[in-house]
Structure 1
Amino acid sequence: MTTKNLPIYQIDAFSDVLFAGNPAAVVPLSTWLPDDVLQKIAMENNLSETAFFVPVTAGNADFHIRWFTPTVEVPLCGHATLASAYVIFNQLGFEGDIVRLQSKSGILTARRYLGAIVLDFPKQPIVPETIADDVIAALGGDTPVETFGVASRDTDLVAVYDDATIVRSMTPDMSLLAKLADRGVIVTAPGDKTGLDMISRYFVPAIGINEDPVTGYMHCVVAPYWADKLGQDDVVGYQASARGGVVACKVVGDRVHLTGEAVLYLKGEITVSA
Protein backbone atom coordinates (compact mmCIF):
# COMPACT_ATOMS: atom_id res chain seq x y z
CA MET A 1 0.00 0.00 0.00
CA THR A 2 1.37 3.39 -1.00
CA THR A 3 0.48 6.95 -0.03
CA LYS A 4 -0.77 9.22 -2.81
CA ASN A 5 -1.21 12.98 -2.85
CA LEU A 6 -4.09 13.92 -5.15
CA PRO A 7 -5.41 17.28 -6.31
CA ILE A 8 -8.94 18.17 -5.28
CA TYR A 9 -11.24 20.98 -6.35
CA GLN A 10 -14.60 22.10 -5.01
CA ILE A 11 -16.80 23.81 -7.58
CA ASP A 12 -20.16 25.52 -7.23
CA ALA A 13 -21.97 24.28 -10.34
CA PHE A 14 -25.00 25.80 -12.05
CA SER A 15 -24.14 29.18 -10.56
CA ASP A 16 -22.11 32.24 -11.54
CA VAL A 17 -21.47 33.24 -7.91
CA LEU A 18 -20.05 31.44 -4.89
CA PHE A 19 -22.28 29.83 -2.28
CA ALA A 20 -25.10 29.10 -4.73
CA GLY A 21 -25.86 26.31 -7.16
CA ASN A 22 -24.65 22.81 -6.27
CA PRO A 23 -21.19 22.16 -4.79
CA ALA A 24 -19.27 19.18 -6.15
CA ALA A 25 -15.82 17.81 -5.41
CA VAL A 26 -13.62 16.93 -8.36
CA VAL A 27 -10.59 14.64 -8.04
CA PRO A 28 -8.55 14.18 -11.24
CA LEU A 29 -6.64 10.86 -11.33
CA SER A 30 -3.92 9.41 -13.54
CA THR A 31 -5.17 5.85 -12.94
CA TRP A 32 -8.16 4.46 -11.08
CA LEU A 33 -7.97 3.88 -7.35
CA PRO A 34 -9.82 0.90 -5.82
CA ASP A 35 -13.57 1.44 -5.68
CA ASP A 36 -13.66 1.33 -1.89
CA VAL A 37 -11.11 4.17 -1.75
CA LEU A 38 -13.16 6.25 -4.20
CA GLN A 39 -16.21 5.70 -2.02
CA LYS A 40 -14.33 6.66 1.15
CA ILE A 41 -13.09 9.89 -0.45
CA ALA A 42 -16.67 10.77 -1.42
CA MET A 43 -17.86 9.95 2.09
CA GLU A 44 -15.10 12.13 3.58
CA ASN A 45 -15.99 15.02 1.26
CA ASN A 46 -19.62 14.71 2.38
CA LEU A 47 -21.00 16.55 -0.66
CA SER A 48 -23.86 15.29 -2.76
CA GLU A 49 -21.36 14.13 -5.41
CA THR A 50 -17.65 13.65 -5.88
CA ALA A 51 -16.47 13.16 -9.47
CA PHE A 52 -13.35 11.26 -10.44
CA PHE A 53 -11.89 11.02 -13.93
CA VAL A 54 -8.86 9.53 -15.66
CA PRO A 55 -7.44 10.27 -19.13
CA VAL A 56 -8.43 7.95 -21.97
CA THR A 57 -5.73 7.22 -24.53
CA ALA A 58 -7.84 5.34 -27.09
CA GLY A 59 -11.39 5.38 -28.40
CA ASN A 60 -13.80 8.28 -28.75
CA ALA A 61 -13.40 9.93 -25.32
CA ASP A 62 -10.87 12.21 -23.62
CA PHE A 63 -11.60 11.07 -20.07
CA HIS A 64 -13.47 8.33 -18.21
CA ILE A 65 -15.66 9.84 -15.48
CA ARG A 66 -17.41 8.34 -12.44
CA TRP A 67 -19.57 9.90 -9.70
CA PHE A 68 -20.05 8.93 -6.05
CA THR A 69 -22.45 10.19 -3.39
CA PRO A 70 -21.31 9.75 0.23
CA THR A 71 -22.78 6.23 0.13
CA VAL A 72 -23.04 4.89 -3.46
CA GLU A 73 -21.81 5.24 -7.03
CA VAL A 74 -24.41 6.67 -9.42
CA PRO A 75 -24.73 6.21 -13.21
CA LEU A 76 -25.23 9.87 -14.13
CA CYS A 77 -24.69 13.25 -12.46
CA GLY A 78 -25.05 16.61 -14.14
CA HIS A 79 -23.64 19.12 -11.68
CA ALA A 80 -20.50 17.08 -10.96
CA THR A 81 -19.96 16.70 -14.71
CA LEU A 82 -20.28 20.45 -15.13
CA ALA A 83 -17.82 20.88 -12.26
CA SER A 84 -15.42 18.39 -13.84
CA ALA A 85 -15.61 20.14 -17.21
CA TYR A 86 -14.89 23.45 -15.48
CA VAL A 87 -11.78 21.94 -13.89
CA ILE A 88 -10.65 20.36 -17.18
CA PHE A 89 -11.12 23.61 -19.11
CA ASN A 90 -9.88 26.09 -16.50
CA GLN A 91 -7.46 24.26 -14.21
CA LEU A 92 -5.88 21.46 -16.25
CA GLY A 93 -4.99 23.33 -19.42
CA PHE A 94 -7.27 21.41 -21.79
CA GLU A 95 -7.03 23.26 -25.10
CA GLY A 96 -10.14 22.11 -26.94
CA ASP A 97 -13.61 23.61 -26.69
CA ILE A 98 -15.34 20.22 -26.37
CA VAL A 99 -14.38 17.49 -23.90
CA ARG A 100 -15.75 13.96 -24.35
CA LEU A 101 -16.43 11.90 -21.24
CA GLN A 102 -16.90 8.14 -21.17
CA SER A 103 -19.39 7.12 -18.47
CA LYS A 104 -21.86 4.47 -17.35
CA SER A 105 -24.46 6.51 -19.27
CA GLY A 106 -22.49 6.49 -22.52
CA ILE A 107 -20.44 9.28 -24.04
CA LEU A 108 -21.21 12.70 -22.60
CA THR A 109 -19.84 15.96 -23.95
CA ALA A 110 -19.19 19.33 -22.38
CA ARG A 111 -18.72 22.39 -24.58
CA ARG A 112 -17.51 25.90 -23.77
CA TYR A 113 -20.17 28.46 -24.68
CA LEU A 114 -20.00 32.21 -23.97
CA GLY A 115 -18.54 31.78 -20.50
CA ALA A 116 -20.84 28.89 -19.69
CA ILE A 117 -20.66 25.14 -20.34
CA VAL A 118 -23.20 23.12 -22.32
CA LEU A 119 -23.62 19.47 -21.34
CA ASP A 120 -25.00 16.95 -23.84
CA PHE A 121 -26.81 14.28 -21.79
CA PRO A 122 -29.20 11.42 -22.55
CA LYS A 123 -32.90 12.11 -22.14
CA GLN A 124 -34.39 10.20 -19.20
CA PRO A 125 -37.79 8.83 -20.28
CA ILE A 126 -40.64 8.55 -17.79
CA VAL A 127 -43.52 6.08 -17.65
CA PRO A 128 -46.85 6.36 -15.77
CA GLU A 129 -46.53 4.91 -12.27
CA THR A 130 -48.58 5.15 -9.11
CA ILE A 131 -46.79 6.60 -6.11
CA ALA A 132 -47.82 4.98 -2.83
CA ASP A 133 -50.00 7.06 -0.54
CA ASP A 134 -47.47 6.89 2.29
CA VAL A 135 -44.78 8.40 0.02
CA ILE A 136 -47.17 11.23 -0.91
CA ALA A 137 -47.87 11.73 2.79
CA ALA A 138 -44.11 11.87 3.53
CA LEU A 139 -43.81 14.62 0.90
CA GLY A 140 -46.44 16.69 2.71
CA GLY A 141 -49.77 15.24 1.64
CA ASP A 142 -50.65 17.40 -1.39
CA THR A 143 -52.09 15.31 -4.22
CA PRO A 144 -50.08 15.41 -7.46
CA VAL A 145 -51.91 15.75 -10.78
CA GLU A 146 -49.68 13.11 -12.43
CA THR A 147 -47.11 10.59 -11.23
CA PHE A 148 -44.38 8.73 -13.08
CA GLY A 149 -41.38 6.51 -12.72
CA VAL A 150 -38.06 7.15 -14.42
CA ALA A 151 -37.64 4.29 -16.88
CA SER A 152 -33.84 4.17 -16.57
CA ARG A 153 -33.92 4.29 -12.77
CA ASP A 154 -36.78 2.11 -11.63
CA THR A 155 -36.64 3.43 -8.09
CA ASP A 156 -36.85 7.14 -9.01
CA LEU A 157 -40.33 8.64 -8.82
CA VAL A 158 -41.79 11.85 -10.29
CA ALA A 159 -44.73 13.78 -8.82
CA VAL A 160 -46.20 16.61 -10.92
CA TYR A 161 -48.16 19.37 -9.19
CA ASP A 162 -50.24 22.19 -10.67
CA ASP A 163 -48.95 24.89 -8.32
CA ALA A 164 -45.30 25.95 -7.94
CA THR A 165 -46.03 27.08 -4.38
CA ILE A 166 -46.52 23.44 -3.36
CA VAL A 167 -43.08 22.55 -4.70
CA ARG A 168 -41.35 25.62 -3.28
CA SER A 169 -42.81 25.20 0.23
CA MET A 170 -42.60 21.40 0.49
CA THR A 171 -40.97 20.11 3.70
CA PRO A 172 -40.79 16.31 3.41
CA ASP A 173 -40.28 13.97 6.34
CA MET A 174 -36.81 12.88 5.23
CA SER A 175 -36.37 10.04 7.70
CA LEU A 176 -39.69 8.56 6.62
CA LEU A 177 -39.03 9.20 2.94
CA ALA A 178 -35.70 7.37 3.19
CA LYS A 179 -37.52 4.26 4.40
CA LEU A 180 -40.34 4.43 1.85
CA ALA A 181 -38.50 5.34 -1.36
CA ASP A 182 -35.45 3.27 -2.29
CA ARG A 183 -33.83 6.14 -4.14
CA GLY A 184 -35.15 9.55 -5.18
CA VAL A 185 -38.36 11.54 -5.57
CA ILE A 186 -38.60 14.39 -8.07
CA VAL A 187 -41.35 16.98 -7.58
CA THR A 188 -42.14 19.50 -10.30
CA ALA A 189 -44.70 22.14 -11.28
CA PRO A 190 -45.14 24.88 -13.90
CA GLY A 191 -42.92 27.94 -13.53
CA ASP A 192 -44.31 30.83 -11.51
CA LYS A 193 -42.00 33.67 -12.59
CA THR A 194 -41.18 35.33 -15.88
CA GLY A 195 -38.54 33.34 -17.72
CA LEU A 196 -39.10 30.12 -15.79
CA ASP A 197 -40.97 27.26 -17.46
CA MET A 198 -40.75 24.78 -14.59
CA ILE A 199 -39.98 24.53 -10.86
CA SER A 200 -38.52 21.30 -9.48
CA ARG A 201 -36.85 19.72 -6.47
CA TYR A 202 -35.12 16.38 -5.91
CA PHE A 203 -35.16 14.43 -2.62
CA VAL A 204 -32.78 11.47 -2.21
CA PRO A 205 -32.38 10.68 1.51
CA ALA A 206 -32.04 6.95 0.79
CA ILE A 207 -28.56 7.55 -0.68
CA GLY A 208 -27.33 10.07 1.86
CA ILE A 209 -28.63 13.33 0.32
CA ASN A 210 -31.79 14.79 1.81
CA GLU A 211 -32.15 17.29 -1.04
CA ASP A 212 -29.83 17.78 -3.99
CA PRO A 213 -29.40 21.54 -4.53
CA VAL A 214 -29.26 21.67 -8.36
CA THR A 215 -29.44 18.48 -10.43
CA GLY A 216 -28.47 18.04 -14.07
CA TYR A 217 -29.81 14.48 -14.24
CA MET A 218 -33.18 15.60 -12.89
CA HIS A 219 -33.52 18.19 -15.63
CA CYS A 220 -33.04 15.40 -18.17
CA VAL A 221 -36.25 13.99 -16.66
CA VAL A 222 -38.38 17.11 -16.25
CA ALA A 223 -37.23 19.14 -19.28
CA PRO A 224 -38.64 16.67 -21.87
CA TYR A 225 -41.91 16.48 -19.89
CA TRP A 226 -42.41 20.25 -19.80
CA ALA A 227 -41.11 20.72 -23.35
CA ASP A 228 -43.83 18.35 -24.53
CA LYS A 229 -46.48 20.04 -22.37
CA LEU A 230 -45.53 23.52 -23.58
CA GLY A 231 -44.88 22.57 -27.21
CA GLN A 232 -41.35 23.98 -27.25
CA ASP A 233 -37.83 22.54 -27.32
CA ASP A 234 -36.22 25.16 -25.06
CA VAL A 235 -37.30 25.27 -21.42
CA VAL A 236 -35.76 26.97 -18.41
CA GLY A 237 -35.93 25.28 -15.05
CA TYR A 238 -35.42 26.55 -11.52
CA GLN A 239 -34.48 24.07 -8.81
CA ALA A 240 -36.06 25.49 -5.69
CA SER A 241 -33.67 24.17 -3.05
CA ALA A 242 -32.23 26.41 -0.34
CA ARG A 243 -29.24 27.23 -2.59
CA GLY A 244 -31.28 27.28 -5.80
CA GLY A 245 -30.15 27.27 -9.39
CA VAL A 246 -31.32 27.95 -12.94
CA VAL A 247 -30.74 25.37 -15.68
CA ALA A 248 -31.40 26.25 -19.32
CA CYS A 249 -32.45 23.12 -21.21
CA LYS A 250 -32.89 22.25 -24.86
CA VAL A 251 -34.46 18.94 -25.88
CA VAL A 252 -32.85 17.58 -29.05
CA GLY A 253 -34.26 14.19 -29.99
CA ASP A 254 -33.18 11.71 -27.34
CA ARG A 255 -30.69 14.16 -25.82
CA VAL A 256 -30.98 17.13 -23.49
CA HIS A 257 -28.54 20.04 -23.62
CA LEU A 258 -28.03 21.65 -20.21
CA THR A 259 -26.36 25.06 -20.00
CA GLY A 260 -24.84 26.36 -16.79
CA GLU A 261 -21.96 28.25 -15.26
CA ALA A 262 -19.57 27.22 -12.51
CA VAL A 263 -17.15 28.90 -10.10
CA LEU A 264 -14.12 27.67 -8.20
CA TYR A 265 -14.46 27.62 -4.42
CA LEU A 266 -11.49 25.51 -3.31
CA LYS A 267 -8.42 23.76 -4.64
CA GLY A 268 -6.01 21.71 -2.62
CA GLU A 269 -4.58 18.27 -2.05
CA ILE A 270 -5.73 15.13 -0.33
CA THR A 271 -3.61 12.26 0.96
CA VAL A 272 -4.82 8.67 0.63
CA SER A 273 -3.35 5.19 0.93
CA ALA A 274 -4.14 2.70 -1.83
Structure 2
Amino acid sequence: MTTLPIYQIDAFADRMFAGNPAAVVPLDGWLADAVMQNIALENNLSETAFVVKLDPAKDDGADFHIRWFTPTVEVPLCGHATLASAFVIFNILGLDGDIIRLQSASGILTARRDGDMIVLDFPKQSIAPDDVPAHVLAAISDAAPRETFRVTSRDTDFVVVYDDASVVRNMTPDMSALGKLAERGVIVTAPGDQSGIDMVSRYFLPALGIDEDPVTGYMHCVVSPYWAERIGKSNVVGYQASKRGGIVDCTVDGDRVHLKGNALLYLKGEIYLPD
Protein backbone atom coordinates (compact mmCIF):
# COMPACT_ATOMS: atom_id res chain seq x y z
CA MET A 1 0.00 0.00 0.00
CA THR A 2 1.32 3.44 -0.98
CA THR A 3 0.20 6.49 0.94
CA LEU A 4 0.29 10.03 -0.39
CA PRO A 5 -0.41 13.29 1.45
CA ILE A 6 -3.29 15.39 0.18
CA TYR A 7 -4.37 18.91 1.12
CA GLN A 8 -7.53 20.78 0.22
CA ILE A 9 -7.11 24.54 0.03
CA ASP A 10 -9.66 27.31 -0.44
CA ALA A 11 -7.91 29.56 -2.96
CA PHE A 12 -8.70 33.21 -3.70
CA ALA A 13 -10.59 33.21 -0.42
CA ASP A 14 -10.39 35.46 2.62
CA ARG A 15 -12.66 33.18 4.67
CA MET A 16 -13.45 29.49 4.88
CA PHE A 17 -16.02 28.08 2.42
CA ALA A 18 -15.36 30.83 -0.12
CA GLY A 19 -13.13 31.08 -3.17
CA ASN A 20 -12.24 27.97 -5.15
CA PRO A 21 -11.29 24.70 -3.45
CA ALA A 22 -8.38 22.77 -4.95
CA ALA A 23 -6.63 19.58 -3.92
CA VAL A 24 -2.83 19.50 -3.80
CA VAL A 25 -0.87 16.24 -3.85
CA PRO A 26 2.93 16.52 -3.34
CA LEU A 27 4.80 13.62 -4.96
CA ASP A 28 8.35 12.26 -4.91
CA GLY A 29 7.95 11.32 -8.60
CA TRP A 30 5.19 11.19 -11.17
CA LEU A 31 2.45 8.61 -10.95
CA ALA A 32 0.93 7.14 -14.09
CA ASP A 33 -1.30 9.71 -15.80
CA ALA A 34 -4.31 7.41 -15.41
CA VAL A 35 -3.76 7.21 -11.66
CA MET A 36 -3.54 11.00 -11.31
CA GLN A 37 -6.67 11.36 -13.43
CA ASN A 38 -8.52 8.89 -11.21
CA ILE A 39 -7.41 10.76 -8.08
CA ALA A 40 -8.77 13.98 -9.57
CA LEU A 41 -12.02 12.22 -10.46
CA GLU A 42 -12.29 10.82 -6.94
CA ASN A 43 -11.65 14.27 -5.44
CA ASN A 44 -14.42 15.72 -7.64
CA LEU A 45 -13.04 19.25 -7.36
CA SER A 46 -12.60 21.55 -10.34
CA GLU A 47 -8.83 20.90 -10.17
CA THR A 48 -6.34 18.69 -8.41
CA ALA A 49 -2.70 19.80 -8.61
CA PHE A 50 0.26 17.42 -8.41
CA VAL A 51 3.70 18.82 -7.59
CA VAL A 52 7.12 17.16 -7.76
CA LYS A 53 10.19 18.80 -6.21
CA LEU A 54 13.00 19.58 -8.66
CA ASP A 55 16.65 20.55 -8.40
CA PRO A 56 16.88 24.20 -9.55
CA ALA A 57 20.50 23.65 -10.61
CA LYS A 58 19.39 20.99 -13.10
CA ASP A 59 15.85 21.99 -14.03
CA ASP A 60 16.06 25.50 -15.54
CA GLY A 61 15.97 27.07 -12.09
CA ALA A 62 12.56 25.56 -11.27
CA ASP A 63 11.80 24.45 -7.71
CA PHE A 64 8.81 22.23 -8.56
CA HIS A 65 7.02 20.75 -11.56
CA ILE A 66 3.26 21.23 -11.43
CA ARG A 67 0.42 19.54 -13.33
CA TRP A 68 -3.33 20.12 -13.08
CA PHE A 69 -6.25 17.72 -13.61
CA THR A 70 -9.99 18.35 -13.70
CA PRO A 71 -12.22 15.32 -12.98
CA THR A 72 -12.03 14.45 -16.69
CA VAL A 73 -8.88 15.90 -18.31
CA GLU A 74 -5.42 17.36 -17.71
CA VAL A 75 -5.31 21.12 -18.38
CA PRO A 76 -2.33 23.30 -19.39
CA LEU A 77 -2.92 26.13 -16.90
CA CYS A 78 -4.85 26.64 -13.67
CA GLY A 79 -4.58 29.66 -11.41
CA HIS A 80 -6.41 28.71 -8.24
CA ALA A 81 -4.74 25.27 -7.97
CA THR A 82 -1.36 26.98 -8.46
CA LEU A 83 -2.18 29.40 -5.66
CA ALA A 84 -3.22 26.42 -3.52
CA SER A 85 0.01 24.59 -4.37
CA ALA A 86 2.12 27.63 -3.50
CA PHE A 87 0.30 27.88 -0.17
CA VAL A 88 1.14 24.23 0.58
CA ILE A 89 4.77 24.62 -0.50
CA PHE A 90 5.30 27.80 1.54
CA ASN A 91 3.33 26.90 4.66
CA ILE A 92 3.37 23.10 4.92
CA LEU A 93 6.38 21.82 2.97
CA GLY A 94 8.44 24.71 4.35
CA LEU A 95 10.29 25.97 1.28
CA ASP A 96 12.88 28.58 2.21
CA GLY A 97 12.54 32.00 0.60
CA ASP A 98 9.65 34.01 -0.76
CA ILE A 99 9.59 32.95 -4.43
CA ILE A 100 8.71 29.59 -6.00
CA ARG A 101 9.47 28.80 -9.65
CA LEU A 102 7.13 26.21 -11.10
CA GLN A 103 7.79 24.27 -14.30
CA SER A 104 4.53 23.67 -16.18
CA ALA A 105 2.92 23.02 -19.54
CA SER A 106 2.54 26.82 -19.80
CA GLY A 107 6.20 27.54 -19.15
CA ILE A 108 7.84 28.73 -15.94
CA LEU A 109 5.36 30.23 -13.49
CA THR A 110 6.30 32.02 -10.29
CA ALA A 111 4.54 32.43 -6.97
CA ARG A 112 5.70 35.07 -4.51
CA ARG A 113 4.77 35.78 -0.90
CA ASP A 114 3.32 39.24 -0.32
CA GLY A 115 2.56 39.39 3.39
CA ASP A 116 -0.26 36.92 4.00
CA MET A 117 -1.10 36.86 0.31
CA ILE A 118 0.47 35.12 -2.69
CA VAL A 119 1.14 36.70 -6.09
CA LEU A 120 1.19 34.50 -9.19
CA ASP A 121 3.02 35.53 -12.37
CA PHE A 122 1.01 34.07 -15.28
CA PRO A 123 0.97 34.49 -19.06
CA LYS A 124 -1.58 36.91 -20.49
CA GLN A 125 -4.28 35.16 -22.52
CA SER A 126 -4.99 36.99 -25.79
CA ILE A 127 -8.47 37.46 -27.25
CA ALA A 128 -9.77 38.59 -30.62
CA PRO A 129 -13.24 39.66 -31.80
CA ASP A 130 -15.28 36.68 -32.93
CA ASP A 131 -18.91 35.78 -33.42
CA VAL A 132 -20.45 33.57 -30.76
CA PRO A 133 -23.13 31.25 -32.17
CA ALA A 134 -26.68 32.38 -31.47
CA HIS A 135 -27.53 29.13 -29.68
CA VAL A 136 -24.62 29.68 -27.25
CA LEU A 137 -25.74 33.24 -26.46
CA ALA A 138 -29.31 31.99 -25.97
CA ALA A 139 -28.04 29.31 -23.59
CA ILE A 140 -26.49 31.87 -21.24
CA SER A 141 -28.81 34.91 -21.32
CA ASP A 142 -31.61 36.74 -23.10
CA ALA A 143 -29.60 39.98 -22.82
CA ALA A 144 -27.72 41.26 -25.85
CA PRO A 145 -23.94 41.37 -25.37
CA ARG A 146 -21.81 44.45 -26.00
CA GLU A 147 -18.95 42.47 -27.61
CA THR A 148 -17.92 38.88 -28.18
CA PHE A 149 -14.46 37.33 -28.48
CA ARG A 150 -12.55 34.06 -28.59
CA VAL A 151 -9.44 33.28 -26.57
CA THR A 152 -6.82 33.08 -29.32
CA SER A 153 -3.82 32.12 -27.21
CA ARG A 154 -5.41 28.69 -26.77
CA ASP A 155 -8.11 28.82 -29.46
CA THR A 156 -10.70 27.77 -26.96
CA ASP A 157 -13.13 29.75 -24.83
CA PHE A 158 -15.76 32.20 -25.95
CA VAL A 159 -15.74 35.55 -24.12
CA VAL A 160 -19.01 37.48 -23.89
CA VAL A 161 -19.01 41.07 -22.60
CA TYR A 162 -22.15 42.71 -21.21
CA ASP A 163 -22.80 46.29 -20.10
CA ASP A 164 -24.65 45.36 -16.90
CA ALA A 165 -23.09 43.34 -14.07
CA SER A 166 -26.52 42.18 -12.95
CA VAL A 167 -26.83 40.19 -16.18
CA VAL A 168 -23.65 38.30 -15.28
CA ARG A 169 -24.57 37.88 -11.62
CA ASN A 170 -28.11 36.60 -12.27
CA MET A 171 -27.72 34.41 -15.36
CA THR A 172 -28.68 30.73 -15.09
CA PRO A 173 -27.16 29.07 -18.16
CA ASP A 174 -28.46 25.94 -19.86
CA MET A 175 -25.56 23.68 -18.86
CA SER A 176 -26.83 20.85 -21.04
CA ALA A 177 -26.48 23.05 -24.11
CA LEU A 178 -23.07 24.38 -23.08
CA GLY A 179 -21.87 20.85 -22.35
CA LYS A 180 -22.15 20.06 -26.06
CA LEU A 181 -19.64 22.72 -27.07
CA ALA A 182 -16.42 21.61 -28.72
CA GLU A 183 -14.90 24.77 -27.22
CA ARG A 184 -13.63 24.61 -23.67
CA GLY A 185 -16.10 26.99 -22.08
CA VAL A 186 -17.79 30.38 -21.95
CA ILE A 187 -16.50 33.40 -20.02
CA VAL A 188 -18.95 36.21 -19.29
CA THR A 189 -17.90 39.58 -17.92
CA ALA A 190 -19.23 43.09 -17.25
CA PRO A 191 -18.10 46.32 -15.55
CA GLY A 192 -17.91 46.25 -11.77
CA ASP A 193 -20.96 47.39 -9.86
CA GLN A 194 -19.43 47.89 -6.41
CA SER A 195 -16.75 50.18 -5.01
CA GLY A 196 -13.29 48.73 -5.53
CA ILE A 197 -14.45 46.16 -8.11
CA ASP A 198 -13.56 46.88 -11.75
CA MET A 199 -15.08 43.79 -13.37
CA VAL A 200 -17.58 41.05 -12.56
CA SER A 201 -17.12 37.72 -14.35
CA ARG A 202 -18.16 34.07 -14.41
CA TYR A 203 -16.82 30.98 -16.18
CA PHE A 204 -18.92 28.05 -17.41
CA LEU A 205 -17.24 24.88 -18.72
CA PRO A 206 -19.54 21.85 -18.42
CA ALA A 207 -17.75 20.24 -21.38
CA LEU A 208 -14.84 19.67 -18.97
CA GLY A 209 -17.03 18.29 -16.21
CA ILE A 210 -17.36 21.60 -14.33
CA ASP A 211 -20.63 23.49 -14.71
CA GLU A 212 -19.18 26.66 -13.19
CA ASP A 213 -15.69 27.26 -11.84
CA PRO A 214 -15.97 29.17 -8.54
CA VAL A 215 -12.91 31.46 -8.87
CA THR A 216 -10.50 31.15 -11.80
CA GLY A 217 -6.97 32.50 -12.12
CA TYR A 218 -6.73 31.58 -15.81
CA MET A 219 -9.97 33.42 -16.58
CA HIS A 220 -8.63 36.59 -14.99
CA CYS A 221 -5.63 36.35 -17.33
CA VAL A 222 -8.24 36.64 -20.09
CA VAL A 223 -10.53 39.39 -18.77
CA SER A 224 -8.08 41.60 -16.84
CA PRO A 225 -6.10 42.73 -19.95
CA TYR A 226 -9.41 43.60 -21.65
CA TRP A 227 -10.63 45.68 -18.71
CA ALA A 228 -7.21 47.23 -18.03
CA GLU A 229 -7.14 48.55 -21.60
CA ARG A 230 -10.78 49.64 -21.54
CA ILE A 231 -10.52 51.41 -18.17
CA GLY A 232 -7.04 52.76 -18.80
CA LYS A 233 -5.12 51.40 -15.81
CA SER A 234 -2.82 48.44 -15.29
CA ASN A 235 -4.23 47.27 -11.95
CA VAL A 236 -7.82 46.00 -11.97
CA VAL A 237 -9.75 44.06 -9.35
CA GLY A 238 -12.13 41.32 -10.40
CA TYR A 239 -14.99 39.64 -8.58
CA GLN A 240 -16.03 36.19 -9.78
CA ALA A 241 -19.73 36.00 -9.07
CA SER A 242 -20.17 32.26 -8.50
CA LYS A 243 -22.07 30.96 -5.48
CA ARG A 244 -18.82 30.82 -3.49
CA GLY A 245 -17.43 34.03 -4.94
CA GLY A 246 -13.94 35.44 -4.76
CA ILE A 247 -11.81 38.52 -5.44
CA VAL A 248 -8.70 38.48 -7.64
CA ASP A 249 -6.37 41.49 -7.70
CA CYS A 250 -4.82 41.66 -11.21
CA THR A 251 -1.90 43.70 -12.51
CA VAL A 252 -1.26 43.57 -16.26
CA ASP A 253 2.44 43.86 -17.10
CA GLY A 254 3.13 43.44 -20.80
CA ASP A 255 2.46 39.84 -21.73
CA ARG A 256 2.17 38.79 -18.07
CA VAL A 257 -0.58 39.10 -15.47
CA HIS A 258 0.14 39.17 -11.73
CA LEU A 259 -2.70 37.60 -9.74
CA LYS A 260 -2.86 38.27 -6.01
CA GLY A 261 -5.03 36.34 -3.58
CA ASN A 262 -5.41 34.65 -0.21
CA ALA A 263 -5.61 30.93 0.51
CA LEU A 264 -6.70 28.86 3.52
CA LEU A 265 -6.11 25.25 4.55
CA TYR A 266 -9.41 23.37 4.76
CA LEU A 267 -8.26 19.76 5.31
CA LYS A 268 -5.31 17.41 5.10
CA GLY A 269 -5.25 13.66 4.80
CA GLU A 270 -3.77 10.63 3.07
CA ILE A 271 -4.51 8.79 -0.16
CA TYR A 272 -4.15 5.01 -0.03
CA LEU A 273 -3.07 3.42 -3.32
CA PRO A 274 -2.68 -0.31 -3.83
CA ASP A 275 0.82 -1.43 -4.82
Alpha-carbon contact 1:10-1:23 (below 8 Å) kept: yes
Q: Which residue is 2:14 aligned to?
A: 16
Q: Distance in 2 between matches of 1:4 and 1:89?
A: 25
State yes or no: 1:135 paired with 2:136. yes
SS at match of 1:214: coil
2:271 partner amino acid: I
1:215 partner amino acid: T
1:42 partner amino acid: A
SS at match of 2:103: strand
Note the 1:57-206 alignment, pairs <5 A.
Answer: 57=55, 58=58, 59-206=60-207
SS at match of 1:131: coil
SS at match of 1:7: strand
Q: Distance in 1 between matches of 2:62 and 2:154?
A: 25
- Larger deviation, residues 151-160 vs 99-108: 151-160
Alpha-carbon contact 2:158-2:183 (below 8 Å) kept: no
2:41 to 43, 66, 80: 43
State yes or no: 1:249 paired with 2:250. yes
Q: Deviations over 1:116-151 (max 9, x none)?
A: 000000000001110000000110222211010001
Q: Distance in 1 between matches of 2:156 and 2:86?
A: 28
Alpha-carbon contact 2:234-2:253 (below 8 Å) kept: yes
SS at match of 1:154: coil
Q: Distance in 1 between matches of 2:115 and 2:223?
A: 25
Q: Distance in 2 between matches of 1:118 and 1:180?
A: 33
Deviation of 1:96 (Å): 1.1
Deviation of 1:4 (Å): 1.4
Alpha-carbon contact 1:134-1:180 (below 8 Å) kept: no
Deviation of 1:194 (Å): 0.4
Q: Deviations over 1:206-230 (max 9, x none)?
A: 0000000000000000000000000
1:14 partner amino acid: F
Q: Deviations over 1:220-257 (max 9, x none)?
A: 00000000000100000000000000000000110000
SS at match of 1:153: coil
- Larger deviation, residues 83-92 vs 136-145: 136-145
1:193 partner amino acid: Q
The normalised TM-score by structure 2 is 0.97
2:5 partner amino acid: P
Note the aligned Cα RMSD (angstroms).
0.8
Q: Which residue is 2:223 aligned to?
A: 222
Q: Deviations over 1:78-137 (max 9, x none)?
A: 000000000000000111100000000000000000110000000000011100000001
2:150 partner amino acid: G
Segments of 5+ residues of structure 1 without an aligned counterpart are: none
Q: How many residue pairs get matched?
A: 272
Q: Distance in 2 between matches of 1:64 and 1:231?
A: 36
Segments of 5+ residues of structure 2 without an aligned counterpart are: none
Q: Distance in 2 between matches of 1:39 and 1:181?
A: 21
Deviation of 1:181 (Å): 4.8
Runs of 4+ in 1 over 6 A off after TM superposition: none
